[in-house]
Amino acid sequence: MTRFVDVPTMAKMIQAIGIDQFIEDLADGIEANFVRWEEFDKSPRFGAHNEVGVIELMPTANAERYGFKYVNGHPENINHDLFSVMGFGVLSDMATGYPMLLSELTLATALRTAATSVMAARALARKDSTVMALIGNGAQAEFQAIGFHKVIGITEIRAFDIDPETTEKLIRNLAEFPDINVIACGSVAEAVKGADIVTTITADKAMAQVISADMVEPGMHFNGVGGDCPGKTELAAGVLTQGKVFVEFEPQTRIEGDIQQMPADFPVNHLWKVLAGTEVGRDSAEQVTIFDSVGFAIEDFSALEYIYTQSVQRSLGVDIELVPTPIGPKDLFTHTGRGQLRSVKRKVV
């Protein structure tokens, strides 16, 4: 049988664990798998693009388990009261090929994206960071703010969005976290000035320069999340050349990340090596560090592992027969009759 976790079940799981603890647990789980980086099969995600968006499949596996995520990215969906990003995923047993888990990954992707951000910042940002600029206050913003508060110790969020109502939404939703002081800013420059960490999570599918070179200050850590597909960037080239750039899976980031605008030999550093302790992250307090985040399959694999464990331990979700339960290892045909109504014999008197 396959464990099935739908959106209401995921919401129950988040409430039971606590959203901040959920993000921290995921950050730890993703980091543990990044340290095991060389044990995983890795490839850029497969994407089907058109003029309005993309649908992607993100697979990976190690010796024990196989996982994949189906995810879309359609920025214009917000104009039709639809989410821009939605997903679901499957975790399977490598020994038998049987699916262990079918789960929603829309809520979980927001959580794992925040978890990946704080995992990178924990390794790269200055340890005394308390102020973060949050550029783009849409569906991902609350998760980033809560994760950075819980794991990094951010207490002040300087928020900006081209839609002021979106920033108001952010402030309203974060009211239950009184230790996070959210300040609405009138421009990107105002939000970024004096920030220790700058997180960009804009949705426009364009080669944008949300952060310009003149906004960079010594010691800043940039968490570039929104530049995550071909033809979509947030950081100007002049930002990238001022710091040390870290990536997840380089072949994918060269295509999808902010570094897609740079020459093919533009130097990058591999985040997994920093987490494994084989390379140095930040070299000094004054150095600028940049995490060119695009999202990689190992992060979703880690989320699926966590969801499966929690769903079993907490008795959340249901078991479904996603694939046939064997009647006999060579008899599939009999399953075709399982949905038939049995005939009822009537006694004639």
b/e sequence 214-246, b meaning 16+ C-beta within 10 Å: ebbeebbbbbbbbbbbeebbbbbbebbebbbbb
3-state class (DSSP) for residue 256: helix
CA dihedral 325, 329, 333, 337 (to 10 degrees): -30
228 a catalytic residue = yes
Transcribe 297-322 into DSSP letters. HHHHHHHHHHHHHHHHHTT-SEEE-S
CB atoms within 10 A of CB 326: 10
Catalytic residue among 196, 228, 258, 292: 228
SS3 per-residue string spanning 63-130: CCEEEEEEEEECHHHHHHCCCCCCEEEEEEECCCCCEEEEEECHHHHHHHHHHHHHHHHHHHCCCCCC
By annotation, the residues acting in catalysis are 228
